[in-house]
Copies of this chain bind each other. A is one copy, B any other.
Amino acid sequence: MSNIPQWSLEKFAAETFSSAPVPGGGGVAALAGSIGAALAGMVCSLTAGKKRYAKYEEDIRRITAKARSLMDELMAQIDRDAENFYPLSQCYGLPSNTEEEKQIKEEKMQAALKVAVSAPVEIVRLSYEAILLHEELAEKGSKLAVSDVGCGVLCLKAAMQCAWLNVMINLKSIHDPSFVEGIETELKPILAAGEKLADEIHTAVAAKLAY
């Protein structure tokens, strides 16, 4: 069992660079999302206890707790994505000489693809939740940390979009229309709303920083 969150930044980059199957786009998406949630935590850390923001103290406490849990859950998706890819990688090596072998391989592939898609799906969901925290922090967080709100939504938008590319790769090969439709129906609106919200927040932050 891997424990990629314990790897150094340098090792993570070097392993990504290599031809090793993981970490790939899914792990990168999870890391970007976790850092985006961490930036929401940073804004909370720089706001909590400040007189000027005392009226938001309760909100900041709630957002802090939620940011921490999203940071941890997104970080955990790095290993989950790596582990979920293993059964699929094993399928590629299965024999397919006879009709029976072909059918067995196809059935195992289909099952493995459904497993492989689950981490990227979760990364889209969790990253969207973290964007909602930044939306609230754009109003209630310390003005001194406004650029961190901007960086946060940029990381989370990239996380959602990377994860979605990895969802699509898998859906492309899954021959179960109701499974595919179920994921699309849930995720496409989340993705569209998350991209729009991240863009709005980023634009507002950039306008505040303009000189």
The chain A residues found within 8 Å of chain B, CB to CB, are 4-10, 12-14, 16-19, 24-25, 28-29, 31-32, 34-35, 38-39, 41-42, 45-46, 67-68, 71, 75, 78, 147-148, 150-151, 154-155, 157-158, 161-162, 165-166, 168-169, 171-172, 180, 202, 205-206, 209-211
Contact = CB atoms under 8 A, between A and B. Distances in A.
Contact of A42 (B16, B71, B78): B16
A169 B154 contact: no
A39 B22 CA distance: 11
Contact of A13 (B46, B75, B158, B169): B75
Contacts of A148: 24-25
B34 A13 contact: yes
A161 B154 contact: yes
A28 to B, nearest CB: 6
Contacts of A147: 25, 165-166, 168-169
A9 B38 CA distance: 12
Given A5-B9, A29-B151, A158-B158, A209 B35 contact: no
29 contacts: A5-B9, A7-B8, A7-B9, A8-B8, A9-B12, A9-B34, A13-B38, A13-B71, A14-B38, A16-B38, A16-B39, A16-B42, A17-B41, A18-B42, A19-B45, A19-B46, A24-B42, A31-B35, A32-B32, A147-B168, A151-B162, A151-B166, A154-B158, A154-B162, A154-B165, A155-B158, A161-B202, A165-B209, A168-B206
